[in-house]
Amino acid sequence: MAGEFRQRIRMRFSKRSDVRFASHRDVMRVFERALRRADVPVRMSCGFNPRPRISFPLALGVGIEASDEVVEVELARWMPVAEVAKRLRANLPNGLSLVKCELAAPGQTGQVGRITYEISGLGDRLPSAERVTSLLQQSTVVVTRVREDKQKSVNIRPCIEDICVAE
């Protein structure tokens, strides 16, 4: 609706410890409940079954820890960002931590520009520096995904910016 108040807050959070085993939908529900308990005036969607206007640009897989995930929340009325952060921090469970809270620029939505993965526990299966260099020099790296009865080959090389091996 035109002229309607909108305040969007972009929050960065970390997901550690046992919470890493929570699904994306579980994390969404945790944020919904924490915002409700914190009495943050979250704007609701219109329609028969209104939902809180909360957006996660990227869904994390189960079992993956995160240090800089993004969630955006639309507020129904103005509230200082520092107050939202203070209230939310007091209502998030152990394992979910609010890292940063800021006003989102109008018209700008949270989009993922880059992802950094850190893989540990490979032991002697760690790839050699030569193998990593060879992979980065290739123009195509094709991965075949199998879902139900369908196979799909995808070139993932354009998505790989850099790889480094840290022992």
Residue-wise pLDDT tens digits, 45-90: 998 999 999 999 888 889 888 888 999 999 999 999 999 999 999 9
Q: Greatest CA span in the chain, whole angstroms?
A: 60
Q: The tokens of 96 are what?
A: 């979910």
The pLDDT assigned to 31 comes to: 96
CATH for 85: 3.30.70.580
Same domain flag for 41 and 73: yes
The pLDDT assigned to 52 comes to: 93
Contact present, 17 and 71 (Cβ < 8 Å): no
Same domain flag for 16 and 98: yes
Domain containing residue 64: 7-103
Q: The tokens of 115 are what?
A: 């992802």
The pLDDT assigned to 81 comes to: 96
| Nearest one of 105, 28, 18 to 71, comparing CA atoms | 28
On whether residue 114 sits in a domain, the answer given is no
Same domain flag for 84 and 20: yes
Same domain flag for 98 and 128: no
Same domain flag for 93 and 58: yes
Same domain flag for 33 and 97: yes
Same domain flag for 25 and 98: yes
Same domain flag for 95 and 129: no
The pLDDT assigned to 78 comes to: 94
Q: What is the mean pLDDT of each run of 10 residues along the chain (167 residues)?
A: 74 92 94 96 92 90 88 94 96 94 80 72 76 87 89 89 78
Same domain flag for 22 and 94: yes
The pLDDT assigned to 110 comes to: 65
Same domain flag for 38 and 89: yes
The pLDDT assigned to 27 comes to: 94
On whether residue 52 sits in a domain, the answer given is yes
Q: What is the pTM of this model?
A: 0.76
Same domain flag for 83 and 137: no
Domain count of the fold of the chain: 2
CA distance 13 to 19: 12
| Nearest one of 38, 31, 42 to 70, comparing CA atoms | 31
The pLDDT assigned to 58 comes to: 84
On whether residue 110 sits in a domain, the answer given is no
